[in-house]
Chains A and B, each alone.
Chain A
Amino acid sequence: MLDILSNYGVMFLVGSWPNGPIGGFAATIILAGLGVLLSFPLALLIGLARAGSLRWPRYLATAWVYTFRGIPLVMIIFWAYFILPRMTGVTVPAFVTALCAIVIYESAFLGEIVRAGLQGLPAGQTEAARASGLSYAQTMWNVILPQALTNMLPSLVNQFVSTIKATSIVYVIGVQEVTFAAQQINSIELNSALQTFLVLAAFYFVACYVISSLAQLLEQKLARKRLGLA
């Protein structure tokens, strides 16, 4: 297994760069990171709609969440692969297609995290803000969101870990991330499949385990800070 790692380590990490686009685990992290970042504004709107009092935004947001949580990511990817070129009229690179699919997919999950964060604050906070004359927008911006976003942070980090794992399927449309690299290596080294795929697993394991542990530490730190307020 160490042979595979030493011979193909760079390929696992960055794909065929610099002789090609960035691939490997670097591409995985970039895809996951961009996915979560771009999805968050959308998730914020969805969460606000779900937690809000206006009926139609709430219904639409609920339908959105149930839909994109109810179908596999690979189906969303196939849809994106089909719809995007027709919508834009140009050939869309696989990376962009995968990114769009991930943004839509994650928006449902992140939206639920936002909703839980908003609904987790005591009602008294909204009441006190409104009672002093602040509008809905001012209340959200100055009072609710700063507190809710801080509370949501561990869940958001955990969702980032989920996204990293989710990117492992996008190789089916040709995105050159780390699972793609592993498939390529496997087709070269035909008799070392077990080692190759265990090295692949190791990459994900290390990254996800470390980031999850960070989320746990963050959660404990926030819990301690909150107890100080009791």
Chain B
Amino acid sequence: MIELDNIDKWYGSYHALDHISGRVAEGEVVVVCGPSGSGKSTMIRTINRLEPLQGGSIRIKGHDVHTQCPNALRAGIGFVFQQFNLFPHLSVRENIMLSPVKVGGMTRAQATALTEELLAKVGLAHKIDAMPGNLSGGQQQRVAIARALAQKPPVILFDEPTSALDPEMVGEVLAVMKQLANEGMTMMVVTHEMGFARDVADRIWFMDEGRIVEENTPEGFFTSPGHPRAQRFLSDVTRSASPPH
């Protein structure tokens, strides 16, 4: 579904992404983790062209993303931000309907039906006419996921979806993401939530200093990581986290 081929990116003289390559197959859930500054968010943002590339290519379903019209490309990719980025002047309903109506060409009636269905799926059907300012962080993020789903994308990208949430709300968002994974959605998730990675990921990419230094299955990664940097990362993460169940 997604193919990254030797992608290279610089911010001035800082080499943010260094010859990154990887594949995400259809229906796969790939979790990208690593220390701060490793380039995880930068990489995922190059896929829907929120960040430009200096080298390499990215393909989605075989089509190079840089040859397509960016608006059409992005309408076909779901993106969930760390800061939710809901539109505060629009109701939940209007937030979700915006893309299907304005870009997808749906009628308002069709879009409304879709909105109700998606909100029910994320457990917020009763909030359809609420304003984002009146929702908790976890609720806002679930609406953001519904907004991404409204585009009916074949793949959804998540950029640290729970990092800005208070701990007690992380679970409700991860539950929605797990449900999507079980339904066969292709997902790439940048996250620090190792529990989610262990339970839901098909593969884990560990990044450090702009490179993917380790690619492994969850069992392989958590029990015996190969790369010394990955080993150090895991010991730092598990030292502060609660023991696995």
Name A's B-contacting residues (CB within 8 A): 122, 124-125, 127-135, 138, 142-143, 146-147, 150, 228-229
Contacts and interface: CB of A to CB of B under 8 A. Distances in A.
Chain A: interface secondary structure? helix
Contacts of A134: 71, 98-99, 102-103
B155 interface: no
Contacts of A131: 48, 50, 74, 77, 79, 81
A188 to B, nearest CB: 55
Interface in B142-185: 144, 147-148, 151
Contacts of A130: 50, 70-71, 74
Interface stretch (B9-17, B29-37, B82-90, B189-197): B82-90
Nearest to A138: B102
A7 to B, nearest CB: 52
A124 B50 CA distance: 11
B102 A128 contact: no
Contact of B81 (A128, A133, A135, A138): A128
A142 B97 CA distance: 12
Contacts of A133: 71-76, 99, 103-104, 151
B22 interface: no
A132 B79 contact: yes
Contacts of B77: 131
B220 interface: no
Contacts of B102: 134, 138, 142
B104 to A, nearest CB: 8
Contacts of B89: 146-147, 150
Contacts of B81: 124, 127-128, 131
Given A130-B50, A132-B79, A133-B74, A125 B85 contact: yes
B98 A142 contact: yes
A135 B71 contact: yes
Interface in B72-128: 72-77, 79, 81, 83, 85-90, 98-99, 102-104
Contacts of A128: 79, 81, 85-87, 144
A37 B124 CA distance: 43
B88 to A, nearest CB: 5
Contacts of A129: 87, 98
B132 interface: yes
A138 to B, nearest CB: 5
B87 A138 contact: no
